[in-house]
Amino acid sequence: MAAAAAAASPATGVSYPSTTRKALLPTLRVSRKFKVAAAVSADPAPAFQSVTAFAPATVANLGPGFDFLGCAVADASLSLGDTVTATLDPTLPPGTVAIADVTSPSRPHLAARLSRDPLRNCAGIAALAALRALGVRSHAVSLALAKGLPLGSGLGSSAASAAAAAKAVDALFGSHLHGDDLVLAGLESEKAVSGFHADNIAPAILGGFVLVRSYDPFHLIPLPCPPALRLHFVLVTPDFEAPTSKMRAALPKHVAIKHHVRNSSQAAALVAAVLQGDATVIGSAMSSDGIVEPTRAPLIPGMAAVKAAALGAGALGCTISGAGPTAVAVIEGEEKGEEIARSMIDAFWSAGNLKATATIAQLDRAGARVISTSTLS
Amino acid sequence: MAAAAAAASPATGVSYPSTTRKALLPTLRVSRKFKVAAAVSADPAPAFQSVTAFAPATVANLGPGFDFLGCAVADASLSLGDTVTATLDPTLPPGTVAIADVTSPSRPHLAARLSRDPLRNCAGIAALAALRALGVRSHAVSLALAKGLPLGSGLGSSAASAAAAAKAVDALFGSHLHGDDLVLAGLESEKAVSGFHADNIAPAILGGFVLVRSYDPFHLIPLPCPPALRLHFVLVTPDFEAPTSKMRAALPKHVAIKHHVRNSSQAAALVAAVLQGDATVIGSAMSSDGIVEPTRAPLIPGMAAVKAAALGAGALGCTISGAGPTAVAVIEGEEKGEEIARSMIDAFWSAGNLKATATIAQLDRAGARVISTSTLS
């Protein structure tokens, strides 16, 4: 009905069949109840005419934290993330969302690949979920998405769009949602687009390192690291598309108990090192995955050589970012960043015959944030 | 040779064939080098005539931390642990150890079951390893072991003897060994007696919660929890001997990847909760093991009912301590301790037809410590 109409005519706003705030939960099969930061009216009034929000790239898995650990990363110019502007749109049916614009300044071909159907666009799905969580019934929203991240690179591109959209919509109506609720709204999008896992969307919303402890009950544990820890990430993305589904299919179905114990203890060490601010242990734990990385690395030409090159050039650790193909190396301070980046790019070329580009990012402690607003006219 | 002589005549001191300090490492297959807290002479002089050290009981595994997490627990009267007195003994050949006495005040039958052969006694093996690590060549030590812990109960009985012995010997010669070196000395004993795992001996030496990250390189991560966290443990031991070897044989050889991810994320949550002082998450994470507890609990009559009873009576979490049969429940503060203990004892009786005894302990942050010394004459 609404969805079918939207598919036929993307300019039409779309709402989910149900508009109750609790409806997200059964869909997501998580048992978290929405916690709302402030008393929210059943149908909150808008606080702005439009809101622009940015959400950062994310590195999921971090080696042994497969499917439950991730962190947010950003560079100084905020090019490493997506931006969404949510604007009140009285021309749309109330309670609906439309995608007004998709741009990709640094990759013009990318914009054309993204659906304008809000039910098939990460930003659209998350915006609708946020509207529903807020209980918005009297207003509609149009979205303009500016993609800073490439698709299918292992940097949480879909999560960044979803996080920016959920954050923008929530701010548009007065910022009533709790961080976990924004994650749930984004998870609705991740589920539709890249699988039911929160290890990108949680840090994209909350910033820093986040442990996705469980889905039922839904429990995220932010892992704040000491301010003095100057963690930087060298992100090297080869010109190679590694579809998440293929990388998932490469996963082992079972693991030997001794590998389970070894990987678990390394993941636990990674969590301790983040909280205690030990960059050396963060790096070596990230490098230690004996379960997932060994099955995925061979699918990314040159990855083993890239890891060796990063470690050889002084990185504290290196692994595949998310499902790849981006390789992520971790360092403390950014002094060695360029040299490590060069050695990783060279290794992708010499061992994998792939061109690659590098970004040196730092830990993004803020997560999704509002970067501009325009007041109600 | 020396060992054979000792087996024939337990009163004779025993030394390992090698007396070099590095010799432990190949035996243990760990790559840690001994770090010595202070400059140690090749053959340190004794600092005391005798030293008595106590080491606490330990709870290993803690649910999802199977084989890599443990914590030390003690009650106010120090009945929950073992005590070793190490005394200089000029009647023994230099560089050797003898077991002069084994007592078990609360369980008289137990003392007779323990070997007086220092190579077959946890305290003896650890004392010899500590002597070797120290480089003691001119003196010999006789040991008196007072067992406070039952055997085969899942409370780290062997580790407590080893930890107390290593600590006493190190103090006897001036406390030159680093904590990790004491753990390695104790691990030599664990390896001989109950298997190559440090999740009991590490907290027995270091106190508090300890993460055994890896053996090669050997890396322990102490997990200090905030002082305000008033963690207590209800330890209920049924009259039932569950041999470690049988419990180990019950382990699954492989685990499904989704169970691996779930258990890993819970273990990581447990580590975060310890460092952040969140007793509720510590408890629920301890209760969450989906891999080891389901295979072991059925081998301990009544365990499932005991766990349900503990949780029903208000415990934050409950699981098997080590390889069992002790059940451990965790609470914050000790107010509910007696009621929870009663409900667990009742459940062992009604569901497992087993008599059981309970101790309410607190987290022991100190680990192995010297409790008395006598000066050189």
Exposed / middle / buried, residue B251 (Cβ in 10 Å: 0-12, 13-18, 19+):
middle
Chain A residues with beta carbon closer than 8 angstroms to that of B266: 213-214
The count of domains in chain A is 2
Q: Pick from B279, B97, B70, B93: which is nearest to B194 by CA? A: B70
Q: Which residue did the predictor score with more confidence, B346 or A6?
A: B346
Instruction: Note whether residue B21 is domain-resident.
Output: yes
Among the candidates B187, B222, B257, a domain finishes at: B222
DSSP string, B35-57: PBSS---SSPPPS-SEEEEEEEE
One domain for residues B194 and B239: no
List CB contacts of A371: < 8 A, sequence separation 6 or more: A52, A53, A54, A78, A83
Please give the residue range of the domain that contains residue B253: 231-363
Asked if the model's pLDDT at residue A161 lies above 90, the reply is yes
Q: Which residues of A247-258 are buried (b: 16+ CB within 10 A; e: fewer)?
A: beebeeebbbbe
CB atoms B268 and A211 under 8 Å = yes
Nearest CA in chain A to B217: A284
Of A76-90, B47-61, B243-257, the poorest mean pLDDT is in B243-257
Rounded to an integer, the average pLDDT of A8-33 is: 39
User: Nearest CB to B255: which of A255, A271, A272?
Assistant: A255
How large a percentage of chain A has pLDDT more than 90?
78
pLDDT average, residue stretch B298-320:
97
Q: What is the pLDDT of residue A233?
A: 98
- Residue B214 reports pLDDT greater than 70: yes
Using CB atoms, which residue from A254, A272, A281 is nearest to B271? A272
pLDDT at A328: 98
What is the least distance, in Å, from the CA of A297 to any CA of chain B? Answer: 18
Return the minimum-mean-pLDDT range out of A52-56, A211-215, A330-334, B105-109. B105-109
Pick the range with the lowest mean pLDDT from B101-110, B118-127, B224-233, B322-331: B101-110
Question: Which residue, among B24, B41, B47, B13, has the nearest Cα to B141 in the 3D structure?
Answer: B13
pLDDT of B152: 87
Is there a domain that residue B26 lies in? yes
Cβ count within 10 A of residue B243: 13
DSSP symbol at B299: G
How confident is residue A360, by pLDDT bands cut at 50, 70 and 90? very high
Cis check for the bond before A217: say yes or no (omega within 30 of 0): yes
Lowest mean pLDDT among A141-155, A211-225, B104-118, B262-276: B104-118
Residue B211 lies in a domain: yes
Place of tokens 């609360």: B106
Predicted local confidence at residue A250, as pLDDT: 86
- pLDDT higher than 70, residue A369: yes
Determine which of A30-34, A59-63, A115-119, B223-227 has the lowest per-residue pLDDT on average.
A30-34
Closest CA to A126 of A53, A67, A219: A53
Same structural domain for residues B239 and B193?
no
* Rg of chain B over all Cα atoms, to the nearest angstrom: 20
Note whether residue B372 is domain-resident. no
pLDDT at residue number A191: 93
Helix axes B122-134, B157-172, angle to 10 degrees: 30
B256–A254 C-beta distance less than 8 A = yes
Residues B114 and B258 in one domain: no
Q: Would the CB atoms of A268 and B266 count as touching at under 8 Å?
A: no
Q: Is A64 on the interface with B (CB under 8 A)?
A: yes
Instruction: Give yes or no: residues A235 and A357 share one domain.
Output: yes
Where does a domain end: B173, B201, B222? Answer: B222
What does each C-alpha distance from B21 to A113, B133, B321 come to in angstroms?
A: 65, 5, 34
> Is B83 in the same domain as B162?
yes
pLDDT, position A11: 36
Q: Which of B71, B213, B258 to mutate to test binding with chain A, by most A CBs within 10 Å of its CB?
A: B213
Interface test with B, best of A264, A278, A281, A293 (most B CBs within 10 A): A264
In order, the DSSP letters of B179-213 are HHHHHHHHHHHHHHHT-S--TTHHHHHH-SEEEEE
Whether residue B257 and residue A261 make contact (CB cut-off 8 A), yes or no, is no
A198 plus A263 within the same structural domain: no
- Contact call for A272 and B65, based on CB within 8 A: no
Q: Does A268 touch chain B (CB under 8 A)?
A: yes
pLDDT of residue A100: 95
**Over chain B, what is the mean pLDDT?**
89
Q: Which residues 297-336 of chain B have a CB within 8 Å of chain A?
A: none
Give which of A62, A248, A260 to mutate to test B binding, by max B Cβ within 10 Å.
Answer: A260
Q: Is A261 on the interface with B (CB under 8 A)?
A: yes
Whether the CB-CB separation of B14 and B118 falls below 8 Å is answered with yes
Tell whether B276 is within 8 A of chain A (Cβ). Answer: yes
Residue whose C-alpha is closest to residue B318's, from B309, B279, B296: B309
Among B50, B234, B226, smallest CA distance to B127 is for: B50
3-class SS shares of chain B: helix, strand, coil, % to 5: 35, 25, 40
Residue type present at position B8: A
pLDDT of amino acid B21: 33
ipTM for this model:
0.89
Alpha helices in B254-317 (DSSP H): 257-276, 279-286, 293-296, 303-312
CB-nearest to A268 from B211, B252, B254 is B211
Is A272 in contact with B223 (Cβ distance < 8 A)? yes
Tens of pLDDT along B137-180?
999 999 999 999 998 899 999 999 999 999 999 999 999 999 99
Task: Decide which of B190, B222, B254 is a domain's last residue.
Answer: B222
Neighbours of A227 (CB within 10 A): 8
Same domain, B97 and B181: yes
Q: Residue A272: which of B64, B252, B275 has the nearest Cβ?
A: B275
CATH classification at residue A81: 3.30.230.10
pLDDT band at B377 (very low <50, low <70, confident <90, very high): confident
What is the sign, positive or negative, of the torsion defined by CA atoms of B266, B269, B275, B279?
negative
- Give the pLDDT confidence score for residue B34 in this predicted structure: 47
**Shortest distance, CA A131 to any CA of chain B (angstroms):** 31
**Confidence band of B295 (pLDDT split at 50, 70, 90):** very high
Mean pLDDT of the A80-93 span: 97
- Assess whether pLDDT exceeds 90 at residue A32: no
pLDDT at A152 over 90: no
Query: Do the chains contact at B68 and A255, CB–CB below 8 Å?
Result: no
Per-residue pLDDT, B198: 96
B338 close to B235: Cβ distance less than 8 angstroms: no
- Facing B257 at nearest CB: one of A64, A251, A275: A251
Looking at residues A28-52, what average pLDDT do you find? Answer: 68
Residue B104 shares a structural domain with residue B253? no
Q: Is residue B377 part of a domain?
A: no
Same domain flag for A80 and A28: yes
pLDDT > 90 in chain B, percent: 78
- pLDDT at residue A31, rounded to an integer: 45
Judged by a CB distance cut-off of 8 A, whether residue B209 touches chain A is: no
Query: Does residue A213 belong to the interface with chain B, where contact is any CB pair within 8 Å?
Result: yes
* Least confident among A237-251, A348-362, B21-35: B21-35
What's the pLDDT at A40?
52
CB contact under 8 A, A263 and B265: no
Q: What's the DSSP call for residue A80?
A: S
Does residue A35 have a pLDDT over 60? no
Tell me, what's the pLDDT at B11?
A: 36
Mean pLDDT of B76-102: 95
Whichever domain contains B260, its CATH number is 3.30.70.890
User: Do residue A272 and residue B269 have CB atoms under 8 angstroms apart?
Assistant: no
Q: Do residues B205 and B282 share a domain?
A: no
Among the ranges given (A80-89, B12-21, B69-78, B113-122), the one the predictor scored with the smallest mean pLDDT: B12-21
What is the structure's pLDDT at B40? 52
Within a domain: B114: yes
Closest CA to B268 of B282, B254, B280: B282
How many pairs of residues across A and B have Cβ atoms under 8 Å apart? 122
Shared domain for A15 and A57, answered yes or no, is yes
Q: Min CA distance, A253 vs chain B (Å)? A: 5
Q: Which pLDDT band, with edges at 50, 70 and 90, does A244 fall under?
A: low
The mean pLDDT of chain A is 89
Helix (H) or strand (E) holding B328: strand B327-332
Residue B201 lies in a domain: yes
Tell me: do B96 and B134 sit in the same domain.
yes
* Assigned domain for B368 exists: no
Question: Could you tell me the pLDDT band of residue A154, with boundaries at 50, 70 and 90?
Answer: very high
As a whole number of angstroms, the distance between CA B212 and CA A268 comes to 10
pLDDT of residue B195: 82
Asked whether the beta carbons of A108 and A65 are under 8 A apart, the reply is: no
Q: Tell me what the mean pLDDT of segment B8-16 comes to.
A: 38
CA distance A258 to chain B (A): 8
CB-based contacts of B12, cutoff 8 Å, min separation 6: B5, B6, B92, B93, B96, B98
Q: Mean per-residue pLDDT for B114-120?
A: 92
The answer to whether residues A111 and A102 touch, using CB atoms and an 8 Å cutoff, is yes
A100-137, pLDDT tens digit by residue? 999 998 888 888 888 899 999 999 999 999 999 999 99
Q: Which residue has the higher pLDDT, B260 or A18?
A: B260
Shortest CB distance from B257 goes to which of A254, A268, A273? Answer: A254
* Sign of the Cα pseudo-torsion (B195, B196, B200, B206, in order): positive
